[in-house]
Amino acid sequence: MIPQVRMEPSARSAVPSKEELALLRILVVAGEGGSAGGLLQNLRQWADDGRLEVDTAPDLPRAVRQLAGQRWDVVLAVLGEHPDDDLSWWVDTLRATGSPRLIAVAPAPSMGLVLRAEKAGVLDVLSLPLRREELARAFERLRSVASETALPLPLVEPHAVGPYALVGQSPAMLDVYKLLARVAGSSATVLVQGESGTGKEVVARAIHMNGPHATGAFVAVNCAAIPENLLESELFGHEKGAFTGAVTRKIGRFEQAASGTLFLDEIADMSLALQAKILRAVQEREIERVGGGETIPIDVRLIAATNRDLKEAIKQGRFREDLYYRLAVVTIRLPTLAERGDDLVLLTAYYVRLFAERYGKKMHAISDRVLELLRAHAWVGNVRELRNVIERAVIVATDETLRADHLPDELRGEETTLADRPQGGLLTLAEAEARHITRVLTHTNGQIGAAAEILGIHRNTLTRKMKEYGL
């Protein structure tokens, strides 16, 4: 049985206490052509309890200067005549400048603007004239977010795979390890299937390193990344002058992988013509360089990977059935991050340590809120997305604990309480629909196709509704 990953609060909490965070530093930025005078006056009046420190910038450029010079907790920005443009500009800018939270203020914010702001992780969108209680609610939300408990990072025992590592002890991953151990010792061709970011290349490397071809090279080719007209010469090589641009003789990846392993990633993206050539190489164990007449024998272990359903592709006539059976001698299916349970915590700890070391930081803990947010997120990009999020978070972290405000806005957006708006009022059907669509789009990371599938409507209908609601 796999022990549950337990995380207890750290004795030495690196997270500032609630009292320490009580004072909020706010930068008020006027909209273009406007003045922040009235707003500032109101805020200063409302700040008489001493828990707000307020300053102002007359326009965007001066605000950027002030943001570079000092640390702020909140930017209260009045959006101009083009609120959507202004909002995305602010989100973009704050992401790059120490990430204070944003409260956007607009004369009459549209539903589309509010939902877009929600998706981007904006703390709140308020309408002008500002109401004291609305603003106070937004600040209280920020203060409650700031109250976090530090949890020490759990111990992780990664299995090193060259520059990568296999991390995880969930039942789904244990099944993968068992299959990997059985198949690695042979020279059998392997097909690794799994969603994007589940670690197909790491598994392929692990098979290579534990197999009979381990002394040879591991050569990886991403078939989808390389333009179709170049893929053939990339795989099989070419002779000098074989085509325009063939300035030198090129040794292809099959030859580079001699006595080693050739990993063909995203194999489903290959044209049928090239699939035929790969089939010949697999069957005959020989290749010809482009523009060359010589037949070259190859001794290569082949591992292929895809995130597509190859059987479906065969039905649609986009993938050769004979090649499929040649490649899928053994099939390993990798679980999604959602299927791996507490591996999320182990992977998080592993990446925090990895990137802390890479960027010369000391990090010993993550906050309970970070953990909550990570657990609540829909990891469409699986481990790759998690790695990306943690790397960015470690880069912006300034203390020894990874806190919620180190996470990208998209993740923090999921905790903001914009969802309980409008206060006390009931939603119209259109508002409810727009809100639900936004939630599903956030869940699918903006993937319209996937969102349409969840919503049970055609993507064209979804596109039309998004346009209608200004999403």
Partner 1 sequence: MTGPAPVRVEKALALMPELEALAPLRALLVSIARPDEAALWSSSGPYLTLGKRGVHPDELRRRMPQAFQRITEHLQALFKAYVEALECQQRADAPGVVAALLRAGRLEEEVGRHTQARSWYEVALGVAEALQDRRPEVEALRALGYVCLALGEYAAGARHFQRSLALAEAEFDQAGATAASEGLGDVALAQGQWGGAQAWYSRGLRLAEAASDAPRAGRLERQLGVLARKQRDLAAAGEFLRRARERFEAAGPADEMAGVLNEQGLLDAHLGRYTAASAAYREALAWAQRAPRDARLELSIRLNLAELDLEAGRLLEAEAELRRAEQVAIGGHVIRRLAQIYTLMGRLRGAQGDETGFVFFEQAIELAKAVERSVATEAQVYHAYALFRSRLGQQDEARAYLERARELFDSLGEAVERERVEKELRALSA
Which residue lies nearer to partner 1 by CB, 292 or 381?
381
Of 14, 64, 274, 471, the one binding partner 1 (CB under 8 A) is 64
CB of 27 to partner 1, least distance (A): 13
Which residue lies nearer to partner 1 by CB, 140 or 228?
228
Of 5-13, 283-291, 432-440, 458-466, the window that binds partner 1 (rule: CB under 8 A) is: 458-466
339 touching partner 1, by CB under 8 A: no
Which whole-number Å values give the CA distances from 224 to 85, 135, 211, 311, in the listed order? 33, 49, 27, 19
Of 2, 17, 18, 32, the one binding partner 1 (CB under 8 A) is 32
227 touching partner 1, by CB under 8 A: yes
Of 65, 182, 375, 436, the one binding partner 1 (CB under 8 A) is 65
CB of 130 to partner 1, least distance (A): 23
225 touching partner 1, by CB under 8 A: yes
Of 42, 97, 99, 417, the one binding partner 1 (CB under 8 A) is 97
93 touching partner 1, by CB under 8 A: yes
Nearest CA to 408 out of 194, 99, 128 is that of 99
CB of 13 to partner 1, least distance (A): 29
CB of 432 to partner 1, least distance (A): 22
11 touching partner 1, by CB under 8 A: no
Q: How many residues does the chain have?
A: 471
200 touching partner 1, by CB under 8 A: yes
Rule CB under 8 A: which of 421-450 touch partner 1?
445-450
Q: Is the dihedral of CA 409, 379, 119, 145 positive or negative?
A: negative
Q: How far apart are CA 53 and CA 73, in angstroms?
A: 10
Which residue lies nearer to partner 1 by CB, 55 or 453?
453
Of 18, 41, 44, 92, the one binding partner 1 (CB under 8 A) is 92
Q: Which amino acid is at 235?
A: L
CB of 306 to partner 1, least distance (A): 10
Of 118, 124, 269, 409, the one binding partner 1 (CB under 8 A) is 269
Of 105-113, 177-185, 264-272, 324-332, the window that binds partner 1 (rule: CB under 8 A) is: 264-272
Of 127-135, 145-153, 179-187, 391-399, the window that binds partner 1 (rule: CB under 8 A) is: 391-399
Residue 464 neighbours by CB distance under 10 Å: 12
3-state SS string for the chain: CCCCCCCCCCCCCCCCCCCCCCCEEEEEECCCCCCCHHHHHHHHHHHHHCCEEEEEECCHHHHHHHHHHCCCCEEEEECCCCHHHHHHHHHHHHHHCCCCEEEEEECCCCHHHHHHHHHHCCCEEEECCCCHHHHHHHHHHHHHHHCCCEEECCCCCCEEECCEEECCCCHHHHHHHHHHHHHHCCCCCEEEECCCCCCHHHHHHHHHHCCCCCCCCEEEEECCCCCHHHHHHHHHEECCCCCCCCCCCEECHHHHCCCCEEEEECHHHCCHHHHHHHHHHHHHCEEECECCCCEEECCCEEEEEECCCHHHHHHCCCCCHHHHHHHCCEEEECCCHHHHCCHHHHHHHHHHHHHHHHCCCCCCEEEHHHHHHHHHCCCCCHHHHHHHHHHHHHHHCCCCEECHHHCCHHHHCCCCHHHHCCCCCCCCHHHHHHHHHHHHHHHCCCCHHHHHHHHCCCHHHHHHHHHHCCC
CB of 342 to partner 1, least distance (A): 22
CB of 372 to partner 1, least distance (A): 23
Nearest CA to 15 out of 371, 413, 386 is that of 371
Joined tokens for residue 328: 């899928």
Which residue lies nearer to partner 1 by CB, 210 or 388?
388
CB of 4 to partner 1, least distance (A): 28
Of 197, 252, 335, 341, the one binding partner 1 (CB under 8 A) is 197
Rule CB under 8 A: which of 370-389 touch partner 1?
380-382, 384-385
Which residue lies nearer to partner 1 by CB, 96 or 430?
96
Of 147, 222, 336, 417, the one binding partner 1 (CB under 8 A) is 222
460 touching partner 1, by CB under 8 A: yes
Q: Are 127 and 107 in contact (CB under 8 A)?
A: yes
Of 299, 375, 458, 468, the one binding partner 1 (CB under 8 A) is 458
Of 149, 187, 196, 417, the one binding partner 1 (CB under 8 A) is 196
| Contact residues: partner 1, CB under 8 A | 32, 59-61, 63-65, 68, 85-86, 89, 92-93, 96-97, 196-197, 200-201, 222-228, 230, 247-248, 250, 265-266, 269, 307, 380-382, 384-385, 391-392, 395, 445-450, 452-453, 456-460, 463
